[in-house]
Structure 1
Amino acid sequence: MLKSRLFAVEAFMSDTPKTSSDDSLSRFIFDGADIRGEIVTLADSYAAVLANNPAPAAVQQLLGEFLAAAALLSSTLKFDGIITLQAQGDGPVPVIMAECNHHHGLRGTVRPPEAGFSDGLTGDLGDLIGQGVLAITIDPDKGERYQGVVPLDKPTLAACLEAYFAQSEQLGTRIWLEADQGRAAGLLIQALPTQLAASIEDNQAQWDTVIALATTVTQNELLSLDHSSNLYRLFNEMQVRVFEPATLQFQCTCSEQRSLSALAQIGREECEEILSEQGVINIDCQFCNQHYAFGAAQIRALFEDSPPTMH
């Protein structure tokens, strides 16, 4: 069971030293209101992803926003599995994606165009990705895979995700995402099914108040303040119950077995063609740059058949 603590103005006026909130996600709810929230800050996990994704600063910062968003959305997983955000378009950044699993393991990648990234590439989501779509995929370890898709017709990733929640989840949701060269961070506020508020009008009034307060958060505050300080600055007039934070870390799930499974998917005939041309099949993980090489004997064992005929 998650432990929580209730704070109000007095709780933040103590002399308790503030601790870093790097690489952690804090969930919170508003006592007396049907509203929940999450706040996340990434540092080392973000740096590990950037180390495997050399790109212009604007592209890396967009990747940071994707990582922060994946972390925020991972709390919706009520089962063992992975949530993935992937944007694909016709702009100078063809594909960018991030995912987070139920163990709070994060990874992400950005695919450059064939000619490589242009020097000095700048811009917002639309400038970088161009016309395209954002896919949100929930992939449970057991059960059916679910995917929702929304057009990239908003200026920011946060706005596109808000449109996704309005369309598929029908839940009032506001999201703030920020990233620089050292940190990525995010804040999510979401309405819950009416349980506590006395009326629809009261519920709406509470929502309007919380959103008005949350909207005052600045880029610098979201990236530099610890979670307690941010939540106090934003919501010190309300009572907020904060749950014990979850620690996030870079984690790649690639392995030799997963790579072999991918080869099994493309089939024996294509594998034979690659072996015939190259003598070995090379696979590089797009997330962590791990290299896997498979010779004829491993491919033969994979398909449990007679040795392939080499031409």
Structure 2
Amino acid sequence: MSDQIQRFLFDQTNVRGEIVTLDTTYAEVLTRHGYPHAVNVLLGELLAAVALLTDTVKLDGTLSIEVRGRGDLSLLMAESNPGGELRAIARLDEEGVLPAEDASFRELVGEGQIVITLDPKEGKRYQGIVALEHETLGACLEAYFSQSEQLPTRLWLAADGKKAGGLLLQRLPDASQNQDVDAWERSVHLAETIKQEELLGLEQREVLYRLYHEETVRVFDPKALRFGCTCSRERMTRALHTLGEAELKDILADQGEIDTQCHFCHTKYHYTAAEIEALIDNPDAPAPTIH
């Protein structure tokens, strides 16, 4: 029952929710890197958050969350798409001291901002930014929803380096006369009682039963989640082109060729001098391939 997200709603109310659990997907991200425990915990929370937000906005495209900090942890990023593929990375200050295992969100990132990017397959790209003014990742993301004047949203996130999970509640536009107008406050109050060990250790339906056994909850079929990277030779080629002709030629003069790799999955890409010269001369040509 791990690696899935499940939608639910409360009948006769204007409240809906989602619950996510990550196990193998989370492990796939962590095994590709050697981050300290405190960073692994935050990555788990961010993975759960990006899965919840992607399913909430129902975006036909990619959603990414970037935490840009001025502390020892300068970047925390997770990305998701409607197919249920997730990926994430972190960037620590190489000159900084390794953080304590129990270092908090604020201790790791310091001041900074969260950038949420919606990149649909069709239509305009949207980006929202909110300052890091709260003590937890979940509270900062709630502030984003509040600032962007979207629907009232609450988040509960948890991770321990092995499993990650999250719960999201959202209030839809004003209830009609036939709906339970107190449902939002009641559902949030009950969710505040959730413990990390319950969110990480219990099946999703069991969590919902413990919280809302006195409510009428309609639970939908779960959607599977998995680790997936969207890197490709074509995308890497476009990224190299952004370096500019002068820098590319400097690298060739120094190294004779270019080797690079995806930061998310560590897939390596090799470019010969001839391929880089072709990229400089004709940047709109298809990505060169090795035969």
TM-score, normalised to structure 2, is 0.92
2-structure distance, mates of 1:72, 1:295: 42
> In structure 2, which of residues 182, 207, 210 is the aligned counterpart of residue 233 of structure 1?
210
Secondary structure of 1:266's counterpart equals coil
1-structure distance, mates of 2:267, 2:116: 25
Residue 181 (structure 1) shift: 1.9
- Could you say which residue in structure 1 is the equivalent of 2:126? 146
- Is the CA contact (8 Å cut-off) linking 1:87 and 1:96 kept in structure 2? yes
Residue 198 (structure 1) shift: 4.4
Summarize the alignment of residues 80-119 of structure 1 with structure 2, pairs less than 5 Å apart. Answer: 80-115=60-95, 118=98
- Could you say which residue in structure 1 is the equivalent of 2:9? 29
- Is the CA contact (8 Å cut-off) linking 2:113 and 2:130 kept in structure 1? yes
- Could you say which residue in structure 2 is the equivalent of 1:172? 152
Summarize the alignment of residues 63-82 of structure 1 with structure 2, pairs less than 5 Å apart. Answer: 63-82=43-62
Does residue 154 of structure 2 align to residue 185 of structure 1? no
Name the aligned partner's letter for residue 246 of structure 1. Answer: K
Change (3 A) 1:175 1:119: closer
Residue 28 (structure 1) shift: 0.6
In the alignment, structure 2 segments of 5+ residues that lack a partner are 283-291
Residue 174 (structure 1) shift: 0.9
- Is the CA contact (8 Å cut-off) linking 1:33 and 1:197 kept in structure 2? no
- Is the CA contact (8 Å cut-off) linking 1:34 and 1:197 kept in structure 2? no
Secondary structure of 1:234's counterpart equals helix
2-structure distance, mates of 1:246, 1:270: 44
Secondary structure of 2:242's counterpart equals helix
2-structure distance, mates of 1:135, 1:32: 35
Name the aligned partner's letter for residue 274 of structure 1. Answer: I
> In structure 2, which of residues 228, 246, 261 is the aligned counterpart of residue 269 of structure 1?
246
Residue 119 (structure 1) shift: 5.8
Q: Deviations over 1:63-98 (max 9, x none)?
A: 100000000001134342111111111111111111
- Is the CA contact (8 Å cut-off) linking 2:99 and 2:108 kept in structure 1? no
- Is the CA contact (8 Å cut-off) linking 1:83 and 1:139 kept in structure 2? yes
2-structure distance, mates of 1:296, 1:163: 48
- Is the CA contact (8 Å cut-off) linking 1:55 and 1:117 kept in structure 2? no
Residue 130 (structure 1) shift: 0.7
Summarize the alignment of residues 1-311 of structure 1 with structure 2, pairs less than 5 Å apart. Answer: 20=1, 22-115=2-95, 118=98, 120-198=100-178, 202-203=180-181, 205-304=182-281
Aligned-pair RMSD on alpha carbons? Answer: 1.6
Runs of 4+ off more than 6 Å: none
Name the aligned partner's letter for residue 72 of structure 2. Answer: P
Larger radius of gyration between Structure 1 and Structure 2: 1
2-structure distance, mates of 1:77, 1:251: 20
- Could you say which residue in structure 1 is the equivalent of 2:288? none
Residue 197 (structure 1) shift: 4.6
Secondary structure of 1:88's counterpart equals strand
- Is the CA contact (8 Å cut-off) linking 1:32 and 1:196 kept in structure 2? no
Secondary structure of 1:69's counterpart equals helix
Name the aligned partner's letter for residue 122 of structure 1. Answer: D
Q: Percent identity?
A: 46
2-structure distance, mates of 1:168, 1:40: 24
2-structure distance, mates of 1:183, 1:197: 41
- Is the CA contact (8 Å cut-off) linking 1:32 and 1:197 kept in structure 2? no
Q: Deviations over 1:139-173 (max 9, x none)?
A: 11221111111111100000001111111033211
- Is the CA contact (8 Å cut-off) linking 2:59 and 2:118 kept in structure 1? no
2-structure distance, mates of 1:238, 1:209: 10
Secondary structure of 2:56's counterpart equals coil
2-structure distance, mates of 1:231, 1:118: 38
Q: Which stretch of the first structure deviates more once superposed, 114-123 or 147-156? A: 114-123
